[in-house]
Amino acid sequence: MGRAIAGFSGFLAALLLCLPNFARADFEDGWVAYVAGNYNFAYQEWLALAEEGHSGAQLNIGVLHEKGLGVPQDVVKAMQWFERAAEGGESAALHNIGIIYRDGRGVPQDLAEAAKWFLKAAKNGDSHGRLQLGLATIGGLGVPKNVGDGVELIRKAANDNNPSAALELGTMYRQGRHIKQDSGKAVGWYENAAASGSGAAAYALGTMFAEGDGAEVDPIRAYAWFWVAARRGHSVADLAGRIVAESLQESELKTAEELGMALIQGRRYEDVRLLMSRK
């Protein structure tokens, strides 16, 4: 969890427009402190706003309690803050409560209760809630099992640019799991996920192009995606990239690194390929 704070820039901008100048400064100061790892200061800045009823600050206070950042870890307190944030319209808080019930952390595990919260989040437009509801529906976890409906929920979340949903959908297409196998669509969804910051999707693309797994073997493209995945913290991507690099000429390796640098900025492969072909 903690995804309420991840991807924060757009969320922050929207909230700042709704705040008076003094509160806006406090909220932004809390975010700067959070990014810097000064969780105690972030907690104090957000707590004052949260107690005044600011739902975004309530959501973030809940995340800090849940993760034990700046305060002792306390899932019960996190739940209380998430519930207050949910009352204020924060759909991410609904999803976070669902995760707590799903995993049984601080409360008895209750898959049916988790699914209820995921449904509430999905109805409020939260793509993470829609993804989790889709996974629960596929598995019959707390809701009646319906693979088709579950896949469509995940597809909707992926279409909302949720990288985790795009990664899941790409893997379904790659493996032919719950859906007809289609390597081309797998690559497309993995690229969507990678463009939104997924290291796992970048690694999956690297393996597909390195091994010819449903795609034409392309060591330059494989290296580029492993390069991206490694810089996003994937544990074995650097080793995979070095193995692929052994098969590349010096000029090819330079091209692959240039491609990786473009891809890590979120640019689509086809767009980058066209630009590179004009050099």
Chain mean pLDDT for the chain: 88
Which backbone phi and psi does 64 adopt, to 5 degrees?
-65, -40
How open is the CA angle 13-16-20, to the nearest 5 degrees?
165
Q: Tell me the C-alpha distance between 212 and 217, whole Å.
A: 4
Nearest to 27 by CA among 2, 73, 3, 61: 61
Reading phi first (left if > 0) and then psi (alpha if -120 to 50, else beta), residue 249 is in beta
Q: Say what the pTM is.
A: 0.83
Q: Tell me the C-alpha distance between 256 and 222, whole Å.
A: 8
Q: How confident is the model at residue 276 (pLDDT cuts 50, 70, 90)?
A: low
User: DSSP secondary structure string, 70-98?
Assistant: SS---HHHHHHHHHHHHHTT-HHHHHHHH
Map out the domains of the chain as residue ranges.
Answer: 186-279
Sign of the dihedral defined by the CA atoms of residues 190, 192, 198, 202, in that order: positive
As a whole-number percent, the residues of the chain with pLDDT over 70 amount to 87
Reply yes or no on whether the pLDDT at 17 is more than 70.
no
pLDDT at 183: 94
> What is the token pair recorded at 128?
């993470």
Q: Tell me the C-alpha distance between 276 and 279, whole Å.
A: 5
Mean pLDDT across 164-172: 98
As a whole-number percent, the residues of the chain with pLDDT over 90 amount to 80
Reply yes or no on whether the pLDDT at 18 is more than 50.
no
Reply yes or no on whether the pLDDT at 101 is more than 60.
yes
pLDDT at 151: 98
146-155, long-range: CB < 8 A, 24+ apart: 147/178, 150/178, 151/178, 151/179, 153/122, 154/130
